[in-house]
Structure 1
Amino acid sequence: MTDRDVFLPVGAQPTLDQLVDQAVAAEELGYDRAWFPESWGRDAVTALATAAERTDRIGLGTSIANVYSRSPALLGQTAATLQEASDGRFRLGLGPSGPLVVENWHGMEFGNPLRRTREAIEIARQVVDGETVTYDGEYFSLDGFRLRCDPPEPAPPIDTAGLGPKAVELAGRFADGWHAVNYTRGGIADRLEDLRRGVELGDRDRDDLRVTLSVSCCALEDGERARELVAQHIAFYIGGMGTFYRDNLARQGYDELAHEIHDAWQRGERDYATDRVRAELRDQMGAAGTPDEACMQLERFESIDGVDAIYISFPRGAEPDEIHETMTAMAP
């Protein structure tokens, strides 16, 4: 049975208290896990620690902490501490982000994101396992680091996000899970093959990995409003968030459409970009409409072979009451 998680809308909540209230509500509604993003607003660690204190059962995790703004040893320490704070409910989600964020916001050279992600996973895993870390990599060389406290039991799993074939292969080879973002229902199949190839290269068991697929969701009594919010959200990511999401969509067989949406958005023709999403992509990438309509659409994603969990994300234009309405309507 596919788990149903929720991706908390950090930007939509005016206070930390209201953000954590969303995690409390998700627990009450029966969601399996609440994922906290980290971009340019509140840091995920403080929010997660607060949520761990105020919840009892729901799983918690980062989706996604980037591997440039914290050292791998600190990522391991953070994961160990949040696993302790949550009584064993934490998963560490890592990813490289992109050059816009890493270079412009954090002042770091982007370099080779795949290699850096691999090294971060390997070092963080040694830390949470309580090992004395000895590591000689391309980016990091460590000797003698070891947790002063007892390591968490069990050690928290470490997931990674990835869009391209090699990034997804890396997840299968080295991580405990893969976070799939910006995929159509049909387009994820090729990347699941990349994941399986990584599993084979790492001589691992596919059943030990958790594949979590993000789906943009909005379920409102005003079904047209819900559908419009999701179309605008998808258009924003393809058109306004650099080129990674555009190129990821192009790899799924939508090359011409992906560039059309991106270029229109960049020219300021955002209504046109949204129109193209509405006509061609919304029902392939999201679940939107009235509560009954949105839930039926979500079941199509949950039926994809190889997907272990769906996390419900909310369109960026949704108001807090619309987020709560959607979370309630689409609860497990």
Structure 2
Amino acid sequence: MTDRTIHLPVAAQDSLDDVLDIGTTAERLGYHRAWFPETWGRDAVTTLAALADRTDDLGIGTSIVNTYSRSPALVGQTAATLQEHSDGRFRLGMGPSGPAVVEGWHGESFERPLRRTREYVEIVRAVLAGEQVDYDGDLVQTRGFRLRQTPPDPAPGIDVTGMGPKAVELAGRFADGWHALMFTKDGIRDRLDDLQRGAELGDRDSSDVRTTLVLPCCALPDGDAARDLARQHLAFYVGGMGTFYRNALARQGHEDAANAIHDAWQAEDHERAMAAVSDDLLDSLAAVGTPEQAREQFEEFAAVDGVDAVAVSFPRAAEREVIDATMDALAPE
């Protein structure tokens, strides 16, 4: 059975308490895990540590922390500490993010992101195993590091994100899971073939690599209002967050729409960018509309063979009543 998880909102919340209350509500509704991204809002480590204190059984995880703003040794320390603090409920999701975040916000060179991700996975795994880490990579060098406490048992799973074929292949070859974002049902099936190929290259069973689909969702009695919120959300990511989302959409057969959205958003014509997200495109990428419509679309994504969990992700402009309504509508039965 496909797990239902949530992707805590990074924006539009007035306080940390508001974010944590969404997490406790998710636990009450029966969601399996709460993921938290780390972009321009609250940091993921503090937020998830606080959420662990307020919940009993809810899994927690990063989706994602980037592989540039923290060293791999620190990421390993952080994962070990969150696993200890949450009594084994933590899962680490990480990935390279993109130039807009890494170069624009953190001032780091966005160099060889796939190689960097692989090296981070290898180093973090060694840290979590309690090994002395003497690592001489192409991009990262670490000497003499070892945890000074007992390593976590079990060690938290390490997931990576990725959109392109090689990034997903990397997840299948080296990671414990893959986080998929901005995919149609056919698009994620294509990338699951890449995951399988990566697992074979790593002499692994692809069923041991857990796939989590982060799905934009919005369910309201006013279905048109829900669709407008989701349309704005998709236009922002395709148009305003570099080229990765645009390219991912183009690879899935929507090149004209991806370019139209991107070009309009870059020209600061946000209404035109939103209009370029057609009804058909919106329905292929999200679970939106009335509660009945959103549930039906959600179940179609959850039924894709190879998807182990679907994370309910909220539109970036969603206020609390929208988030609550969507969580209620899509909660596990």
CA shift at 1:269, angstroms? 2.8
Match of 1:253? 253
Alignment of 1:121-140 (within 5 A): 121-140=121-140
Match of 1:188? 188
Partners of 2:273 and 2:40 in 1: CA distance: 25
Give SS of 2:84's match: helix
Say if 2:10 and 2:316, in contact at 8 Å, map to a contact too.
Answer: no
Alignment of 1:136-285 (within 5 A): 136-285=136-285
Say if 2:114 and 2:167, in contact at 8 Å, map to a contact too.
Answer: yes
Q: Deviations over 1:112-159 (max 9, x none)?
A: 111111111100010111111121101122222111000011000000
Q: Deviations over 1:28-71 (max 9, x none)?
A: 00001100010111100000000011111011000000000000
Partners of 2:279 and 2:144 in 1: CA distance: 57
Match of 2:33? 33
Give SS of 1:61's match: strand
Give SS of 1:104's match: coil
CA shift at 1:283, angstroms? 0.4
Cα RMSD (Å): 1.0
Return structure 1 stretches of 4+ with deviation > 3 angstroms.
Answer: none
Identity %: 63
CA shift at 1:268, angstroms? 2.8
Deviates more, 1:33-42 or 1:277-286: 277-286
CA shift at 1:2, angstroms? 0.5
Q: Structure 2, unaligned stretches of length 5 or more? A: none
Partners of 1:273 and 1:24 in 2: CA distance: 35
Partners of 2:185 and 2:238 in 1: CA distance: 16
Partners of 1:243 and 1:141 in 2: CA distance: 30
* Length-normalised TM-score, structure 2: 0.98
Q: Structure 1, unaligned stretches of length 5 or more? A: none
Match of 2:65? 65
- Read off the aligned partner of 1:153 and give its amino acid letter: D
- Read off the aligned partner of 2:303 and give its amino acid letter: S
Say if 2:99 and 2:242, in contact at 8 Å, map to a contact too.
Answer: no
Q: Deviations over 1:255-303 (max 9, x none)?
A: 1221122112222332222222133311000111111111011001011
Alignment of 1:289-304 (within 5 A): 289-304=289-304
Match of 1:23? 23
* Length-normalised TM-score, structure 1: 0.98
Partners of 2:267 and 2:175 in 1: CA distance: 39
Say if 2:66 and 2:94, in contact at 8 Å, map to a contact too.
Answer: yes
Aligned pair count reads: 332
CA shift at 1:195, angstroms? 0.7
Say if 2:100 and 2:241, in contact at 8 Å, map to a contact too.
Answer: no
